[in-house]
Structure 1
Amino acid sequence: MAADTSLIEEDVLVAEIVEVLPNGSRRELNISMISTIAVSIVFLLMAMSFGKTIIHDSNQEGSFSGEWWETPLHQRHKMDLPMDLMRAQLPENGTLEVKPYTEHFIEVELPLEEQDAGTPGDDLMHVALWLPDVEEGVKVPVIMTIHPYYDFGGEGILGEDSSPNTVPDGGVGKWVYDTFVPHGYALAQASTFGTGQSTHCQDVKGLGEQIGIQAVVEWLGQQEWSNGNVGLMGKSYAGTTNWEAAQNPSEHLKTIVPISGSIGVQEMFYRNGSSESRAMVYDALYEGATADATFDDTRMCTDDIIGPLNPLTTWAGAEFGGSKWSKYWEERRHLPDVLENYRGSVYLVWGLQDWNVDPYHAFPTYQMMIDAGINARAIAGQWAHNYPDQPDRHSELSSGYGKEAYPNMSRMDWAVELFGWFNYYLKDIGDEPEPMVQIQTNDGRWHVEETWPPEDMTWDLQDIGTNWLITGSSVNG
């Protein structure tokens, strides 16, 4: 079944509508050639790591004889990986056909405080589902992506409408559809509450949204065709929903792959004594883009009023005598609940040049998860708010902002890496992946570490004296 891709790819600053680049065939060919050369360089540079290394002797070079998806990191340069595409692909295509999509509305039980009087009717989450055509009796796991960007914009305040969730999106959906569904995985695309065809309020990253996401995971794991294992994956807001699913997780949630997904709204806008002005318009712009400015969508929710006001009142309180974080902010701090309640696995993905959702959300989060007993991996390269396998985006970086690390940053083995991860956690195939951090320094070299920053590093602490001393109240976070 052929499907068009959506051009929507999560948020930049407040919301990133993907820019359609005029990539000609010559430019694509040049990038593909650069990527082909770079993939070998990547693995050579990985052997130069500090801390825990992947250096190996020549006697081990040809000793691997397992399945292709189990190929060790230091031997992937010998794999016949497709290099002429804009996203990483597997060395072997799946053989299963994909059934036509089906649509489902999942009823959600919300607590009384989330049952807003402004939204009468049932609280329903809308899901589009693609299943592989397997033999009778064979059950399959699910890879889901969920966010508010289906039917995003249009009659609201941000440009033309994006595609609905019945079209595999251009971020995760189409890639999973092409790469993983033919290998026996189902793809689910869902709209958060108040967006797309999901009903109720848009509670931006709040309790109502969290419960809706968790309900979809539970439903997917209970279906007759499902093997009971669900994984989430997505970038930016679609990565944050991964953390939301894991706050009070369904037993069916086995793994999440948050790609530049914030661990909390508070952490996104306020850190190290500073604040970001975009906090003032964050909720308002999401609500304006997802609520149609017509008489057929006149829902008004309490959160539509509270959300946009909180950054303003928090700022004003801090400016004039100090302020504490309110329940609004605490409700949107995802990581503490994840550390306490979730016992699945996490694969963190981050761009070290990401100035939208910066790496502060990834480190020390990685080590905090390890300490909490969560099996985790992380990969962090010198790309921006992108995926690890986007050489067209990576090539656009400027000097001092990642350019020096290109083309070595483009990880065209990314599909192989995830295939082994999903095989274990969603299909119970293979050995449990070892925790590690793959980190790229600004010179383009890749390193493998047990954690990041390395535990054996020496900190050089400098006293900046009193010249930097400023007065004024701060928000205690």
Structure 2
Amino acid sequence: MTRRDAGGDGTERTDVSRRGLLRAGAAATALPFVGAASGREATDEGPLAPADEPLPGPTVAPLGYDCGEDQTGDYTEVSRGPTHDFGEERVVELDSEADGEKIQLGYIKPEPLADDQPDGDYPVILRATPYVSDLRKPDSIRDCVRIERLTENFVQQGYAVAVVAVRGTGGSGGCMELFGATEQADVNQAVTYLGTREWSNGNVGIIGRSYDGTTPWMAARAGNPYLATIVPYSGVTDVFELMYKRGAPESRGYGVLPALYYVISLAEHAPTSGTGLATYLSRAQCPDNYAAGTAWSVYSGATGERDPSGYWTERVLKPGVARNYEGSILLVHGLQDWNVDPSQVYPWVDELRAAGIKTHLYFGQFGHRYPDDGREKGEPNYNEQWQDYLLAWFESELKGDSYVGEFPEAEGIDPDETYDPVPKAYVQNSAAEWYTAESWPPEPAEPRTLYLGSDGQFRATPDPETTTGRVFKDETSSVEPGARGTVTVQSDPVDERFRLAGTPTLSLTVTPTSSAPHLTAHLFAVDAEGTAERLGWGQVDLRYAQPGPEADTVVPGEALSVSLPIEPLDAVVPAGSSLALVLNQGTVSGRTESPTPTPLVVQTGGDASLTVEAWGADLGRGAQPTAAGRRATDGTAYQGGATARQTLIVSADPPAPVRDTVPASWTVFAADSEDVARTETDSEAGVTHVYLQPAADRETFEYFVEVPDGPDGSGVYSLGPAAVERDGNWVPLSGTSADAFVAGTPE
């Protein structure tokens, strides 16, 4: 991987000519302006463009997109003292290179605190968002709720902070595209503009959460040479996968998401919110754009498939990132985010790292929020040092400097030693413990298969027996272990804690009773009092029982093999608690159910399994021994006095002593068989026990018997069952019994 020299050490850059040429080209398309209402003055950035002034009067922003003290957010602050002051604030318009529409962009530059400090050579932190009003309002950009935590923390640390309103929002023209191709091009153009300013050091970083955490991937996908780092919080990399994963649509998937951003574009950014009238009226030409998004949303919600028009494919941001991007990534995601699933970034992150992209992870037990939210409630995910953490990252990636802050205590960090202030993986597990690691899941984790026993217990080996359970929708019941309408598989309480991370995968066989069923899985940690803590979840429409782009036909009554991934997690089952898997037909994370959910028959036992990356305790009964066997004979009917061969095939894990049982009136040729250790006759029971030689390296045992003769020898005799010894007890093996008819010789 290559990156540009930030110039922070005073060395001369090697890309001045290239940047100079790019700057000249960018300046030709940039049309800066100053709105009369703002009171800002023109600078030498360029001539003023004709202003599309907002209508006079108060502004109204129902969703809180406007700026002002009443919209101030609760965020943490950088601990280092200021190195700069607030400098020039400016709003510019760019003509979109895609179609000429207006792109509205604002920024605040720092300025030196002392006369001997250089003025310029500033890196830029950008937020590209639909959640801002027209930037030319009288309020300062610095006070805008959507970038306030950036301006207040980083301008005085020597960073320019910028915000661009994506098309169809704020003061930008065009139609709101919901991550479309032209919007992607606009964001990429804004990065180039900021990277080519004379006051810029050529390094731009994009940061944001949710929609604003999606826009960083747009410029990364394009391989923009000025994009040095991105910090996406809970961003969407594939909106189709978010809305319709494995055929199970979200409630937002049936046209709600396009409709929401239609409202954002037209209602929230009406002239009463400060948007210029001409800009707003241009959006009146967009209904066809929104209608297409709504139509394909309904199509995908019903079929689970991508539309044939390419609407969703255009909005997949993953392709090209690993191939084109040369910057770095600080990936921030809440493992309890039920708005943007963690599977949007994991395991895809492994592909980014494999491509040589510097990718660090910050995963916590929080939802769709910032890591420094929740101070007043004292939430365990709250990180008082979050802004220091970010500053350390930006100093490294945008300036080429190093900065060590103070971070919460974490497993693997010695406070008396020097360490990377931004570890490769900084993660919080479900026990609210933070730890650092070189990779995630951390190295102690290794693949482990937990088999779903027919007795409702996890096992370490496949269960030779199988059983079935019925899963159905029950509105009166919960989805916790043992609830009505569910199938539950649970471990014994663990002696030491059990940990798992990554993406567990469930493999099992189900038989549907209709052509459109679905299956949901939950993982719980259950304590000694029976209280269940949810660790993870997954849901699949059985038309997508196996991963694939197209739905398969589900035939009622025909068994299906199902592969169901659980959302990424980092979980702890404490000592004394147990791990529980609950199969049901509930709904999670806003996902909808089948239109008419119908029961499923779920098979446990056999090869049904849950594959996890885990370490720590064994899961109790999952490690219990297993044994199976069968009998083979050379006949089922004998003449009196005949010799009969008895063959037993016994598989035991771990190996165990084997004992067979024959009628007491039969004679065992013990001395003639290497496999017979001894015999014991129980006259009261009328049987002889045949103890076979222990054999750890084989499973087949053979010996001979002589059947009785004479008129009293005629009759039907029972053989077996064979048994294995476990803890001093003889455990019979099903499948090792047989009946034999003997015809004795008459006198």
**TM-score, normalised via structure 2 length:** 0.45
Structure 1 residue 290 corresponds to structure 2 residue 258: no
Match of 1:417 among 362, 386, 389: 389
Q: Which one scores higher on RCO, CA 8 angstroms, separation ≥ 6?
A: 1
Percent of aligned pairs with the same residue? 30
Which residue matches 1:476?
Answer: 549
**What is the one-letter code of the residue matched to 1:416?**
D
Task: Please say if residues 437 and 452 of structure 1, whose CA atoms lie closer than 8 Å, have aligned partners that are also in contact.
Answer: yes
Structure 1 residue 91 corresponds to structure 2 residue 79: yes
Aligned equivalents of 1:93, 1:433: Cα separation in 2: 18
Aligned equivalents of 2:349, 2:423: Cα separation in 1: 10
Which residue matches 1:181?
Answer: 155
Aligned equivalents of 2:324, 2:281: Cα separation in 1: 37
Rate the CA distance shift 1:467–1:166 in 2: closer, same or farther, 3 A: same
Task: Please say if residues 426 and 436 of structure 2, whose CA atoms lie closer than 8 Å, have aligned partners that are also in contact.
Answer: yes
Which residue matches 1:456?
Answer: 446
Q: Structure 1: 5+ residue runs without aligned partners?
A: 1-14, 24-84, 116-121, 153-161, 396-405
**What is the one-letter code of the residue matched to 2:448?**
T
Rate the CA distance shift 1:350–1:226 in 2: closer, same or farther, 3 A: same
Which residue matches 1:339?
Answer: 322
1:386-436, CA deviations, whole angstroms, 9 ceiling, x for partnerless residues? 11111247x3xxxxxxxxxx6432111212221111111111113998762
Alignment of 1:138-287 (within 5 A): 138-151=120-133, 166-171=141-146, 173-279=147-253, 280-287=255-262
1:464 to partner: Cα distance: 3.6
1:233-279, CA deviations, whole angstroms, 9 ceiling, x for partnerless residues? 00000000111121103200000000011111112112133111212
Deviates more, 1:359-368 or 1:369-378: 359-368
Aligned equivalents of 1:179, 1:360: Cα separation in 2: 31
Task: Please say if residues 376 and 435 of structure 1, whose CA atoms lie closer than 8 Å, have aligned partners that are also in contact.
Answer: no
Which residue matches 1:363?
Answer: 346
**What is the one-letter code of the residue matched to 2:510?**
T
**What is the one-letter code of the residue matched to 1:456?**
E
Which residue matches 1:314?
Answer: 300
**What is the one-letter code of the residue matched to 1:370?**
R
Which residue matches 2:685?
Answer: none
Rate the CA distance shift 1:407–1:137 in 2: closer, same or farther, 3 A: closer
Rate the CA distance shift 1:435–1:267 in 2: closer, same or farther, 3 A: farther
Structure 1 residue 445 corresponds to structure 2 residue 433: yes
Aligned equivalents of 1:375, 1:469: Cα separation in 2: 49
1:459 to partner: Cα distance: 4.1
Rate the CA distance shift 1:323–1:240 in 2: closer, same or farther, 3 A: closer
1:446 to partner: Cα distance: 1.4
Task: Please say if residues 352 and 384 of structure 1, whose CA atoms lie closer than 8 Å, have aligned partners that are also in contact.
Answer: yes
Match of 2:312 among 329, 336, 346: 329
Match of 1:130 among 91, 103, 108: 108
1:148 to partner: Cα distance: 0.7
**Is the strand fraction higher in 1 or 2?**
2
Aligned equivalents of 2:138, 2:245: Cα separation in 1: 35
Aligned equivalents of 2:429, 2:513: Cα separation in 1: 32
Task: Please say if residues 108 and 142 of structure 2, whose CA atoms lie closer than 8 Å, have aligned partners that are also in contact.
Answer: no
1:32-59, CA deviations, whole angstroms, 9 ceiling, x for partnerless residues? xxxxxxxxxxxxxxxxxxxxxxxxxxxx
Task: Please say if residues 395 and 402 of structure 2, whose CA atoms lie closer than 8 Å, have aligned partners that are also in contact.
Answer: yes
**What is the one-letter code of the residue matched to 1:285?**
L
Which residue matches 1:303?
Answer: 289
**What is the one-letter code of the residue matched to 1:349?**
V
Deviates more, 1:343-352 or 1:433-442: 433-442
1:220 to partner: Cα distance: 0.3
1:16 to partner: Cα distance: 7.6
**What is the one-letter code of the residue matched to 1:350?**
H
Task: Please say if residues 299 and 307 of structure 2, whose CA atoms lie closer than 8 Å, have aligned partners that are also in contact.
Answer: no
Rate the CA distance shift 1:378–1:298 in 2: closer, same or farther, 3 A: same
Q: Structure 2: 5+ residue runs without aligned partners?
A: 1-61, 272-276, 404-419, 453-506, 517-542, 551-747
Secondary structure, counterpart of 1:193 in structure 2: coil
Rate the CA distance shift 1:212–1:272 in 2: closer, same or farther, 3 A: same
Aligned equivalents of 2:223, 2:347: Cα separation in 1: 22
**What is the one-letter code of the residue matched to 1:424?**
S
Secondary structure, counterpart of 2:85 in structure 1: coil
Which residue matches 2:417?
Answer: none
Rate the CA distance shift 1:195–1:324 in 2: closer, same or farther, 3 A: closer
1:215-234, CA deviations, whole angstroms, 9 ceiling, x for partnerless residues? 00000000000000000000
**What is the one-letter code of the residue matched to 2:318?**
L
Aligned equivalents of 1:291, 1:150: Cα separation in 2: 13
Task: Please say if residues 230 and 255 of structure 1, whose CA atoms lie closer than 8 Å, have aligned partners that are also in contact.
Answer: yes
Deviates more, 1:467-476 or 1:205-214: 467-476
1:469 to partner: Cα distance: 7.5
Secondary structure, counterpart of 1:187 in structure 2: strand
Secondary structure, counterpart of 1:105 in structure 2: strand
1:468 to partner: Cα distance: 6.0
1:287 to partner: Cα distance: 1.4
Task: Please say if residues 347 and 376 of structure 1, whose CA atoms lie closer than 8 Å, have aligned partners that are also in contact.
Answer: yes
Which residue matches 2:467?
Answer: none
**TM-score, normalised via structure 1 length:** 0.70
Aligned equivalents of 2:258, 2:307: Cα separation in 1: 20
1:91 to partner: Cα distance: 2.2
Task: Please say if residues 355 and 384 of structure 1, whose CA atoms lie closer than 8 Å, have aligned partners that are also in contact.
Answer: yes
Task: Please say if residues 244 and 300 of structure 2, whose CA atoms lie closer than 8 Å, have aligned partners that are also in contact.
Answer: no
Task: Please say if residues 306 and 313 of structure 2, whose CA atoms lie closer than 8 Å, have aligned partners that are also in contact.
Answer: no
Match of 1:426 among 398, 404, 410: 398
1:181 to partner: Cα distance: 0.7
Task: Please say if residues 428 and 435 of structure 2, whose CA atoms lie closer than 8 Å, have aligned partners that are also in contact.
Answer: yes
Aligned equivalents of 2:131, 2:306: Cα separation in 1: 33
**What is the one-letter code of the residue matched to 2:440?**
W
Aligned equivalents of 1:470, 1:436: Cα separation in 2: 47
**What is the one-letter code of the residue matched to 1:104?**
V
Aligned equivalents of 2:204, 2:338: Cα separation in 1: 30
**What is the one-letter code of the residue matched to 2:125?**
I
**What is the one-letter code of the residue matched to 2:320?**
D
Aligned equivalents of 1:102, 1:16: Cα separation in 2: 25
Please tell me whether Structure 1 or Structure 2 has the larger radius of gyration of its CA atoms. Answer: 2
Deviates more, 1:125-134 or 1:406-415: 406-415
1:108 to partner: Cα distance: 1.9
Rate the CA distance shift 1:450–1:337 in 2: closer, same or farther, 3 A: same
Secondary structure, counterpart of 1:327 in structure 2: coil
Which residue matches 1:103?
Answer: 91
Which residue matches 1:66?
Answer: none
1:17 to partner: Cα distance: 5.9
Deviates more, 1:323-332 or 1:410-419: 323-332
1:384 to partner: Cα distance: 1.1
Rate the CA distance shift 1:377–1:323 in 2: closer, same or farther, 3 A: closer
**What is the one-letter code of the residue matched to 1:476?**
P
**What is the one-letter code of the residue matched to 2:436?**
V
1:323 to partner: Cα distance: 6.3
Task: Please say if residues 324 and 476 of structure 1, whose CA atoms lie closer than 8 Å, have aligned partners that are also in contact.
Answer: no
Aligned equivalents of 1:443, 1:261: Cα separation in 2: 25
Rate the CA distance shift 1:442–1:239 in 2: closer, same or farther, 3 A: same
